[in-house]
Structure 1
Amino acid sequence: MKLKHYLGFVGAIAGLSLTACTTPTVSQRQPPFSKPSTTLRAVPVDKTKLVMGQTLYVPIYSHIYHFNSQDRVMNLSATLSVRNTDLTNPIILTSVRYYNTEGQLLRQDLTGPVELKPLASTDFFVAANDDSGGAGANFIVEWVAEKKVYEPVVEAVMINSSSAQGISFISPARVLKQFGMQN
């Protein structure tokens, strides 16, 4: 694929991540933060009906060092993707929080629980020009379900495609806490 076409393709994908959402339960931050690209419906959570859930840690890299010095950094955009892999049941996202290298909360993307329908996905975006997270930034994602479901796929994709050079990689979630899961 020619570089010109590739960069156009990457630009199209980045544009999808910035799609606006009118869901009132999502924080109304201005760029460089974006709202989820999927419409998420606010739902009540009855803790007595919950049968499973997890708290996940997802490493995010706002920038990476390159060459032979920590003075040379490459800024990266990051897309946190949350994918409900269950064929028939929804999951409920209860919290999506973004922290910097020092562990300081930078933003909270949800103001209340929202439903992610079966096989639906949503994402949260950190722009390349947002270096507030640093090289050790992370998201903490919490989800629950009222029925047994397959675990969602939660991962981050970092990318920089400036000039003639590009880099991209994924960072999978790590489970910090869980309940109702089969080991």
Structure 2
Amino acid sequence: MDKVVSTIIENLEKRKIKAKFFQTKEEAKEEILKEVQSYSSIGIGGSMTVKEMGLYEALLQENKEIYWHWLAEKEKVSEVRQLANQADVYLTSTNALTEAGELINIDGIGNRVSAMYYGPKKVIVLCGTNKICSDMISAMDRIKKEACPPNAKRLGLKTPCGVTGNCNDCLSEARMCNITVIINHKPMTVDLSVYIIGESLGY
């Protein structure tokens, strides 16, 4: 663990947010499977990090009730989103994490960011070291340049960032940058943990 990550963990803990560092995604996955043993339902927010870690497949083997709208039938997506936000445990990733310990996220619908602070009993937020930023300004810059454009392309959206790869703060109907949330302290009713992983994961 380098000095920056050590400082971030200290700052997260000052904010009453639990924090752990894992060198690899496999180590983090193993810990998550242990953490969720006593819970029956798992909600998953839209997250390439979760997908890259193979968490869904691992949780299926644990016979957990899993709600992930990415894998739901089209007509059931909204229902699955709601069930995920009411699950015992919610797994997702963050768009950016500042050295001061602030979680910065931008969402289109808001289901992912809202579940981070209200609804589930326990929330585990995953963060590859590629998402660490010095401050809020650099965090927002990172999201606009490195997270939203590739995500828009993945979804086939006809937003400027999806077409050109550059954000211009559009007013497109397909715009994804609708809701910005900053978590700067532990939410009152949520057991919130941040798992920092020493790999480049997600957008």
Q: Classify the TM-score, shorter chain.
A: under 0.3
Larger fraction in strand: 1
Compare CA radii of gyration and give the structure with the larger one. Answer: 1
TM-score (norm 1): 0.25
TM-score (norm 2): 0.24
